[in-house]
Amino acid sequence: MAERVVLHVGALKSGTSYLQSLLYADRDGLARQGVLVPGETWNDQVVAVRQVLSRPKDAPRWAGLLGEISGHPGPAVVSMEFLGPSRPEVAARVVESFGATPVEVVVTARDLNRTIASMWQETVQNGRSWSWDEYVDDVRAKRPGRGDGVADRATAGGTFWRQQHVARMCRDWSSVVGRERCSLVTVPPPGAAQSELADRFGAAAGISFTTTTVPARSNASLGLASTLALRRLNELLDERGLRFPAGQRLRKRRLAKEILASRRRDEPALGLPVTEWVAQQTTDTRAVLLEDGVTVVGDLADLDPVEVPGVHPAQLPDAQVAEAAVFGLAGLLEGQIRG
């Protein structure tokens, strides 16, 4: 039986891709310390978690992960942000699947302003077609009060807060594993060394990384022109009855992550100044976290919103969006022509 299991449950866009890449880049180094990162690749954890959340009575990949963990004498680490929004009864089912092995939970969180900008782009890459203004307006309209439940999956604000209601996430998971076994890691502010997040996560998880260098990241972000071109593409495909995830591999992995991401440095970035409601929501969130006695690794001040430098989509000339669209089309055709 494993000594303990650490579940890193998100939130989305809080350095999760970096930490997941780091866990597997340093898998051998961690193993020499007795720490297991189960699964040959992170995708093994992704599939396993999806199965246990969607069909718990038929989750062979999750069962395989459990078998690997149960046969290991030291600590094990599972990192998958789909776990974060789980209702307490679902979280309890996941935790109970580990039997008598103690389970610890780590939540990571980034400041709200940067998160809003990143999450809009992520929703576009996942087939959504909300405009930037629609997205921000609905996120504001549906901002949570204390004790709110899991938000919906259909609206812009609902999808955002389902993944980003950090206070609820900490509260729900703490109710399952106990307050003493749930910690919140804050993502350092802009300008901090990337290794600082690794150090904080390691402290929360009780592990020591032997490196903080990861391979080139596959979860690349897009420039604003490419994001707008992709958003319009999503609209057109929706009209043709090809709603996401139809063509997911081609649309997200090939077009977005490989082709369009390659021109990110040549495009303006999406900008977002700090507004009063974002600052107030952050204050409210910090107050709840303090009242709930959440263990924080880092500093709650790191959640203070910071300005995202860049431009509003309305400031971007249509010609730049068209150029991004043609670049994407050329990349897709090149792949077909070259076979």
| In the chain, where the domains are located | 4-112+159-218+274-303, 224-268+309-338
- The answer on pLDDT for 337 being more than 70 is yes
- Residue 147's pLDDT is 55
Amino acid at residue number 124: V
Q: What is the pLDDT of residues 176-194, one digit of tens each?
A: 999 999 999 999 999 999 8
Task: pLDDT band for 290, please (50, 70, 90 cuts).
Answer: very high
Q: What is the DSSP letter of 223?
A: -
**Tokens 């880049």 belong to which residue?**
25
- Residue 215's pLDDT is 79
H/E stretch holding 104: strand 103-109
Read off the pLDDT of each residue in 205-225 and give the average, rounded to a whole number: 86
Q: What is the pLDDT of residues 46-78, one digit of tens each?
A: 999 999 999 988 999 999 999 999 999 999 999
Q: Where are the alpha helices (DSSP H) in 88-193?
A: 88-96, 112-125, 132-141, 156-164, 166-177
Percent residues over pLDDT 90 in the chain: 92
- What's the rounded Cα separation, in Å, for the pair 106 and 86? 14
Read off the pLDDT of each residue in 100-109 and give the average, rounded to a whole number: 97
Out of 95-99, 101-105, 147-151, 175-179, pick the least confident. Answer: 147-151
Q: What is the pLDDT of residues 244-273, one digit of tens each?
A: 999 999 999 999 999 999 999 999 999 999
CATH, range 4-112+159-218+274-303: 3.40.50
- Residue 145's pLDDT is 79
Percent residues over pLDDT 70 in the chain: 98
- What's the rounded Cα separation, in Å, for the pair 192 and 190? 6
Read off the pLDDT of each residue in 213-237 and give the average, rounded to a whole number: 89
Read off the pLDDT of each residue in 280-289 and give the average, rounded to a whole number: 96
Pick from 79, 173, 160: which is nearest to 112 by CA? 160
Mean pLDDT, the chain, whole residue set: 95
- Residue 91's pLDDT is 97
- Residue 148's pLDDT is 63
Q: How many residues are listed for the chain in this entry? A: 339
Task: pLDDT band for 228, please (50, 70, 90 cuts).
Answer: very high
Q: What is the pLDDT of residues 121-152, one digit of tens each?
A: 999 999 999 999 999 999 999 998 765 667 88
Q: Is the Cβ–Cβ distance between 169 and 292 less than 8 Å?
A: no
- The answer on pLDDT for 220 being more than 80 is no
Task: pLDDT band for 294, please (50, 70, 90 cuts).
Answer: very high
Read off the pLDDT of each residue in 195-207 and give the average, rounded to a whole number: 97
